[in-house]
Structure 1
Amino acid sequence: MIIFHLALGGCLKAPPVDFGITADTGGHIAYVLDAARHQALRDDVEQVVIVTRAFDDIRLDATHSRSHETVADKVAIRRIATDDRRYLEKEALGADLGAFIEAFVVMLADLPRRPDVIHAHFADAAAVAMAAQRRFGIPFVYTPHALGIDKREQRIESPGLDARILAERAAIAAASAIVVSTEEEARRQVAGYGVALGDRIRVVAPGVPRQGRERAVRTLADRLDRWLERPELPIVLAIARPVAKKNLGAIARAFAGNAGLRARANLVILAGQHAHASGEERAALAELRAMADSSALRGRFALPASHDADDVAALYARAADGGVFVNPALHEPFGLTLVEAAAAGVPVVATRNGGPADILATIGHGLLVDPKDETAIGAAMEAIVADPTRHAGFAAAARANVGRYCWHSYAATTSTLYRGLAAPRLLACDIDNTLTGCTESARAFAAWREATDLPFVIATGRGFDAARMILKRWRLPQPDAFIVDVGTRLMLADGRGGWRACPDYARALDANWDREAVEDALAPLEVTRQPEATAGPHKVSFYGTATDAERIRLTLRARGLAARTVFSHGRLIDVLAPTGGKAQAIAAFAARSGLTLADCVAAGDSGNDDDMLAACGRAIVVGNAGAELDHLPERPGLLRVAGRHAAGVLEGLTTLGLVARSTPKRCVAAAA
């Protein structure tokens, strides 16, 4: 299995990573690197590639302009360059996203073997993965890390927040699976977007982040006397970006307001790399510096301007000696630092909002607080620092239970999840010359359908009545839904033995479709119309050649009319609403069960099957397919089988592990 991780923001490089060097160089980068390294240790994983953005910035490591970098055995970073070579903060990435998507798709097209799965981190990466899914049928997994809906709930507004929430909703809707770190993320955060999830969401806890080596050189832990009058006292430690949602000012105010705590401990806050602070961060740092210089905190508060991984490891070790780690974020999606603290045996005080509640329930190494109650924050910190017995109990729980957060377990679970995405969960089949044409294999297909629970839909160019008639004539099974008129009508069971057109899908096809204008534009071409019975509100049909189909395309383009022109079976031309087609209809039906096109397998033989064969995660091109499908790009999941008609469908399903090897050895033609 080849796995791609996709993460666009921050300074992603092989360790050591200078965390905090930019606002976006934080916990998600540690997550991606550790996930990739541990997945690569598995025998069933051939390669892991981390794809990110290339940039040039004299303030930052020159490594970020290199197209390739080795991280570990079987793990590499691939950087994609666009015309914009600047480092871009998360909020500015949107302007370059289109160019990055185009470059990423070109890279995938040139690969000798494409990835089996893409794991996208944040919604911008998910937008890139969606493009790859549409073009190549590669399933993608989405990990949000942090969600805009929570910023809004905490009344933290920022430019572009509405667009971010829309992008996150689109990512949740399109992903083949969503991986989050806590039950709270699954239950409240992701569910808050109102998207049907089905069984797509999985809680997979990450492991303990890799810490520094605690080298034999002096670290910040050895130099606290630069800031502190009594450096021998235990420390209250916090590590976070200096932004409003991390609520670092609350720690300083809580510490300053608790005389007992000030007498027993010092405060140390690592708030990013100050020299590279953004506008919001500079304001938060100015507030912290003012408090550090106040009479209450002078000589009691260390606020180092920079730090590295070894400083972090050493300060965790220092905090384990009678101190406490504090995370009072207004909302914390997960809280990797709380797991880091546990690995070092440090008790914690953490926000009750978000992932920390799950972490503390699992490890049991500290206290939860309301992040807006500064008195409670101070009291919780003092309760641990002032009580050696309680401190020792929390420290023992930390060391005993931190192993429940294990990267090897994460790698095993996600690898199983990735492999499962390759197993289709919905079959879409054309009828004519795909399921029909051979009586024996049609009968075998009907027997397979009787024995399987796999949802099955018909996707045909025929109208609804004609499709039902053909199925009956060939004794083929009834599907769970009919996609008819070349994907311009979705027919659903009405629960009373009948069928009804899906009104939501019909409304979606109205967008940018002017049927009357299309007919007027094509009338002068004198192309022969198919019988009126074949037409529909979102479809106009003709007889003609491939040349006629191209004339129609050019005419509509010249008139500025949006439409899709489909040529099939060497003589049929269908002009569809621009958002119509079999692939779109399959996606609409799949979404009703929380599935995406990546979860589907399509089988077909002609040009009107083109879009679904290109877009579904798996596709079966039967052996009797027309030359119209020769242009389909080769990709993982596209199966060109030798079997003809329904025998070919069964051959493809056998290859996918969905049917026993019982396909007929020969086809027996039957009269249509």
Structure 2
Amino acid sequence: MNRKLDILHFSLHGLIRGQNLELGRDPDTGGQCLYVLELVKALAKHEQVSRVTLVTRRVFDPRVSDDYAEAVEDLGDGADIRRIEAGTRRYLRKEVLWRHLDAFIDGTLAWLRRERRVPDLIHAHYADAGYVGRQVAAVLGVPFAFTGHSLGRVKRQRLIDGGVDEETIERKYNLAVRIEAEELSLEAASMVCTSTRQEVEEQYSMYDRYAEESMRVIPPGVDLTRFDGEGNTEAYESVDAKMKRFLNDPSKPAVFTIARADERKNLTGLVRAFGNNAWLRENANLVLVGGNRETLKKLPSGARKVWTELLRLIDDLDLYGVCAVPKQHQSQEVPEFYRWAAARKGVFVNPAFTEPFGLTLLEAAAANLPLVATNDGGPRDILANCKNGTLVDAMDDKAIGDAIEEIVAEPDHQQKLAKNGAENVRRFYSWDAHVDSYLSELSKVLPAEPRSREPGSRQYLTRSEHWIVMDLPPHLEEEPPELVERWRQLFREGEVGMIFATGLSYSEARDVIERLEMPRPSILITGLGAEIHYGWKTPIKDEIWNRQARLRWNRDGVVDAFKDFPGLSMQPEERQHELKVSLLLDEGVKCTRESLQRHLREAGLSAKVMITSGCFVDVLPIRSGKDVAVRYIEMKWGIDPARVYCYGTYGNDSAVIRGRLLSAVAADSDPVLRRLRERPRLYHCSQPGLAGFFEGLDHYRFFEDQPPPLPAEEYYSEDEEVPAIEIEP
């Protein structure tokens, strides 16, 4: 790979800035935020990378720092953070971000269009970013990589095992949406990055679109420079002062952990393990750093519950004088907590029920601390490589206490493990090693030649400053003649561009347009996104789009998969297309889009299913669809979504109208559209057909050049139920 790479990383939830990360502030601002930030910084320093950007959400909220409202933050060496506005401007927890992700896609494409930038790769982190990243990659026609970090199917199973009923799980966590986004991301990804083999074998394998050949195990990196030298004297003294407030004898070995106050982290198990071990109570101190807190009342409900239980346990076990639980710390103090514990020949403990990553274990090893860690996920690989500690069953408090005692009670053994860890973590987990492995794997999925960075020539499209996207009107012959003439007149001056997006084939669509004397479109999308043609008299087919839409498409396989499916039959040949399989669902047969999608996945096929009017079933390539085609056109031709009016009538319009386009839904549209929640850029018309079309235009004052603002602020408290939504493939 001789060319210099331009890479985008997407990480949407939590709070991310270049310095002083607020790790542990809430469940969303944890190890993933730090990992992605440091990966971006490390990539930027590599000679094979020219530019790398971390794309995240822009937040305007008095409850958080103004840093998160900055549109751009320079990280140096060709790296930066780009923050995109999407929906409400407030800071939201990840479970309620889903309804704003389509707007995030449009905002990202608008930014890339302004910069005339087409990256070589898009890499998304977590399910929400996967939903965004795979669609942006599809529009641009570039490879897509995915890292799940933690997976919805795994979380749902563990919650069920813990006794939580499925209805409560769905209401609180919206896991059905998250799992579907993960399935779609796995389906579209050329490369899936994982930290350990356990993730591949026990977690990703739970998914329908799990594909062994796309999995890449790349051990995570850690910024070891923070643990070199003597550290920050002022920060160390601050840590020491914090400890002296709690501990009778701060010189004793420290049993140390740092983690979010989350039930999955099992901090209460560590307190019980320490408090019920007589030797540890007499000869060691317990130090718990569980994020910052002012008062319990101000904590999110989950963290408040954990801290309430922790403080109760400390009191019940009478650990006063041997247990430190500092309320506040700065980011520069984090390395000094490790150094403080290492100076006292202590041990670092990760007692989590599940640990897919294990960043704190790497930091502890770099700081000369032996490890006691959960026998799950990342810790297995880390301890196998670093040879610096013991794996334990996180459910066995006594085993945790015994393992800690075994290390701390033998200073020579403790020092040997500490030395092993400090040496091996630099061998296996430095950022240089991580980036080298990452770029090596990346070279296997990148095309030999970079994609052209030049946008298409606008030619005859340059006259149109306003655009209308709609399907062919279903009942044009029955419309009032004056409305039909008014509709045609809109496009006669050439200042309004028409984009017809239909499920008909190209030849069928042209026949209907000519027969009914419809406006001649500037752009015609046919086959539900299978083809794009520009112009009318001498149409030009977009061959780049056509090639990209074929990615992983196996039409014969789709036909075979549904050949004997109960209640499904093929539509007539004229409804078929090489990039679309059209089927008909028999009346009275109950069948969901999800069940058909699952059937394809079980057959090992990458495709997406759409159902229109409850009976028309269309199967498309994974990188096709009306929505992706429209966004591709906006990107290629430099069209501002705020100047695009989309009128929805069919169920397959749903994904198109949920973004930043000025969208309206006809009163007689498919029920799936009428169920969509109205918001500033999604209007429900009271009239059907062309009457509704003009009602929507008037609602937006479309030709007054004053588009409505982005979606108004919505805020859901930590205790509020998550609004249920659906996502389309």
The interval holding the TM-score normalised by the smaller chain is: 0.5 to 0.7
- Contact (CA 8 Å) 2:504, 2:528: kept in 1 or not? no
- Contact (CA 8 Å) 1:175, 1:596: kept in 2 or not? no
Partner deviation per Cα, 1:462-506 (whole Å, 9 max, x = no partner): xxxxxxxxxxxxxxxxxxxxxxxxxxxxxxxxxxxxxxxxxxxxx
Q: Which residue of 2 aligns with 1:589?
A: 554
1:351-362 equivalent positions in 2, closer than 5 A: 351-362=374-385
Secondary structure at the counterpart of residue 145 of structure 2: strand
Once residues 108 and 613 of structure 1 are traced to their aligned partners in structure 2, the CA distance between those partners, rounded to angstroms, is 22
Which of 383, 401, 408 matches 2:406? 383
Q: Deviation of residue 349 (structure 1)?
A: 0.6
Question: Does residue 420 in structure 1 map to residue 424 in structure 2?
Answer: no
1:353-372 equivalent positions in 2, closer than 5 A: 353-372=376-395
Once residues 45 and 101 of structure 2 are traced to their aligned partners in structure 1, the CA distance between those partners, rounded to angstroms, is 32
Question: Does residue 284 in structure 1 map to residue 302 in structure 2?
Answer: no
Structure 1 window deviating more from structure 2 (106-115 vs 210-219): it is: 210-219
- Contact (CA 8 Å) 1:23, 1:277: kept in 2 or not? no
TM-score w.r.t. the length of structure 1 is 0.67
Which of 314, 320, 327 matches 1:298? 320
Secondary structure at the counterpart of residue 441 of structure 2: helix
AA of the residue aligned to 2:64: L
Question: Does residue 226 in structure 1 map to residue 240 in structure 2?
Answer: no
Once residues 277 and 293 of structure 2 are traced to their aligned partners in structure 1, the CA distance between those partners, rounded to angstroms, is 27
Question: Does residue 268 in structure 1 map to residue 272 in structure 2?
Answer: no
Once residues 419 and 519 of structure 2 are traced to their aligned partners in structure 1, the CA distance between those partners, rounded to angstroms, is 72
Once residues 8 and 550 of structure 2 are traced to their aligned partners in structure 1, the CA distance between those partners, rounded to angstroms, is 29
Structure 1 window deviating more from structure 2 (166-175 vs 561-570): it is: 561-570
Once residues 21 and 397 of structure 1 are traced to their aligned partners in structure 2, the CA distance between those partners, rounded to angstroms, is 32
Secondary structure at the counterpart of residue 307 of structure 2: helix
CA distance 1:316–1:595, change in 2 (3 Å): farther
Once residues 81 and 146 of structure 1 are traced to their aligned partners in structure 2, the CA distance between those partners, rounded to angstroms, is 25
Once residues 13 and 566 of structure 1 are traced to their aligned partners in structure 2, the CA distance between those partners, rounded to angstroms, is 40
Q: Deviation of residue 140 (structure 1)?
A: 1.6
CA distance 1:264–1:630, change in 2 (3 Å): closer
Q: Which residue of 2 aligns with 1:45?
A: 49
CA distance 1:128–1:260, change in 2 (3 Å): same
Q: Which residue of 1 aligns with 2:636?
A: 633
Q: Which residue of 2 aligns with 1:641?
A: none
Once residues 145 and 411 of structure 2 are traced to their aligned partners in structure 1, the CA distance between those partners, rounded to angstroms, is 45
Which of 159, 162, 165 matches 2:179? 165
Partner deviation per Cα, 1:241-265 (whole Å, 9 max, x = no partner): 1111111100001111111111111
Q: Which residue of 2 aligns with 1:193?
A: 207
Once residues 563 and 131 of structure 1 are traced to their aligned partners in structure 2, the CA distance between those partners, rounded to angstroms, is 14
Secondary structure at the counterpart of residue 46 of structure 1: strand
Q: Deviation of residue 288 (structure 1)?
A: 0.9
CA distance 1:542–1:274, change in 2 (3 Å): closer
Partner deviation per Cα, 1:40-60 (whole Å, 9 max, x = no partner): 112221111111111122232
Question: Does residue 68 in structure 1 map to residue 68 in structure 2?
Answer: no
Query: Greater CA radius of gyration, 1 or 2?
Result: 1
Q: Which residue of 2 aligns with 1:548?
A: 514
Structure 1 window deviating more from structure 2 (335-344 vs 387-396): it is: 387-396
Once residues 550 and 49 of structure 1 are traced to their aligned partners in structure 2, the CA distance between those partners, rounded to angstroms, is 49
Once residues 543 and 68 of structure 1 are traced to their aligned partners in structure 2, the CA distance between those partners, rounded to angstroms, is 44
Q: Which residue of 1 aligns with 2:62?
A: 58
Partner deviation per Cα, 1:592-630 (whole Å, 9 max, x = no partner): 998979xxxxxxxxxxxxx999969xxxxxxxxxxxx99
Q: Which residue of 2 aligns with 1:343?
A: 366
Q: Which residue of 2 aligns with 1:259?
A: 278
Q: Deviation of residue 215 (structure 1)?
A: 3.2
Partner deviation per Cα, 1:327-349 (whole Å, 9 max, x = no partner): 11111001011111110110111
RMSD: 3.9
1:170-569 equivalent positions in 2, closer than 5 A: 170-209=184-223, 211=226, 213-217=231-235, 218-275=237-294, 277-320=299-342, 321-403=344-426, 404-423=428-447, 541-542=507-508, 548=514
Secondary structure at the counterpart of residue 223 of structure 1: helix
Once residues 94 and 270 of structure 1 are traced to their aligned partners in structure 2, the CA distance between those partners, rounded to angstroms, is 31
Q: Which residue of 2 aligns with 1:106?
A: 110
CA distance 1:551–1:176, change in 2 (3 Å): farther
- Contact (CA 8 Å) 2:254, 2:286: kept in 1 or not? yes
Once residues 334 and 97 of structure 1 are traced to their aligned partners in structure 2, the CA distance between those partners, rounded to angstroms, is 26
Partner deviation per Cα, 1:9-28 (whole Å, 9 max, x = no partner): 11110112222223211111
CA distance 1:137–1:385, change in 2 (3 Å): same
Q: Which residue of 2 aligns with 1:429?
A: none
Once residues 614 and 111 of structure 1 are traced to their aligned partners in structure 2, the CA distance between those partners, rounded to angstroms, is 24
CA distance 1:614–1:58, change in 2 (3 Å): closer
Secondary structure at the counterpart of residue 293 of structure 1: helix
Secondary structure at the counterpart of residue 384 of structure 1: helix
- Contact (CA 8 Å) 1:198, 1:594: kept in 2 or not? no
Once residues 32 and 266 of structure 1 are traced to their aligned partners in structure 2, the CA distance between those partners, rounded to angstroms, is 33
Structure 1 window deviating more from structure 2 (161-170 vs 584-593): it is: 584-593
Secondary structure at the counterpart of residue 238 of structure 1: strand
Secondary structure at the counterpart of residue 356 of structure 2: coil
Question: Does residue 88 in structure 1 map to residue 112 in structure 2?
Answer: no
CA distance 1:10–1:562, change in 2 (3 Å): closer
Gap runs ≥5 in structure 1: 426-512, 522-536, 556-560, 574-580, 598-610, 617-628, 636-672
1:611-650 equivalent positions in 2, closer than 5 A: 633=636
Partner deviation per Cα, 1:423-462 (whole Å, 9 max, x = no partner): 279xxxxxxxxxxxxxxxxxxxxxxxxxxxxxxxxxxxxx
Once residues 637 and 443 of structure 2 are traced to their aligned partners in structure 1, the CA distance between those partners, rounded to angstroms, is 20
AA of the residue aligned to 2:141: G
TM-score w.r.t. the length of structure 2 is 0.62
Which of 127, 132, 136 matches 2:136? 132
Aligned length: 498
- Contact (CA 8 Å) 1:552, 1:565: kept in 2 or not? no
CA distance 1:56–1:422, change in 2 (3 Å): same
Once residues 630 and 58 of structure 1 are traced to their aligned partners in structure 2, the CA distance between those partners, rounded to angstroms, is 37
Q: Which residue of 2 aligns with 1:504?
A: none
- Contact (CA 8 Å) 1:133, 1:615: kept in 2 or not? no
AA of the residue aligned to 1:207: G
